[in-house]
Amino acid sequence: MRSSATAPVPTEPAARRALGLVGLAARARNLVAGTAQVRVAARGRRLALVLIATDASANARGKVMPLLEATGIAMIEQFDRMTLGTAAGRAPLSAIGIMDASLATRIRSLLSTGEMPGPARAPEQTTG
């Protein structure tokens, strides 16, 4: 699934939760950091989602975005370089790639709707 449009601005708690999941991906070694590493992983089709910084240079965008579009990897332009780097425990980053499909789905859901996907819950029954 491809998505190259700038994501709608999520609610603040949703953004924090999404960034927390980016940190979780980094700790679980399911994240690639930086334009060069994202390009290598995209060529190997190991990525489920790429986050591109809103303040990434035209050069960085030009290297990453056409490759992602050609390979069909979903991308979201969200956050600035400093925020992405901090979430990944690194210096400022123009792009980060999420390799785990489940984490990618959760991050994408948070950034698009502000809600986490999960199992449907049955309505609670009251006993009378």
Q: What is the mean pLDDT of the chain?
A: 86
Tokens representing 46? 């190991």
> Residue 37's CB: how many other CB atoms inside 10 A?
15
∠ Cα 54 67 22 (to 5°): 50
Is residue 122 included in any domain, yes or no? no
Is residue 2 included in any domain, yes or no? no
pLDDT of residue 114: 66
CATH number for the domain including 16? 3.30.1330.30
Is residue 31 included in any domain, yes or no? yes
What whole-number distance in Å separates Cα of residue 114 and Cα of residue 77? 16
Is residue 99 included in any domain, yes or no? yes
Is residue 100 included in any domain, yes or no? yes
The tens digit of pLDDT for each residue in 27-65 reads: 999 999 999 999 999 999 999 999 999 999 999 999 999
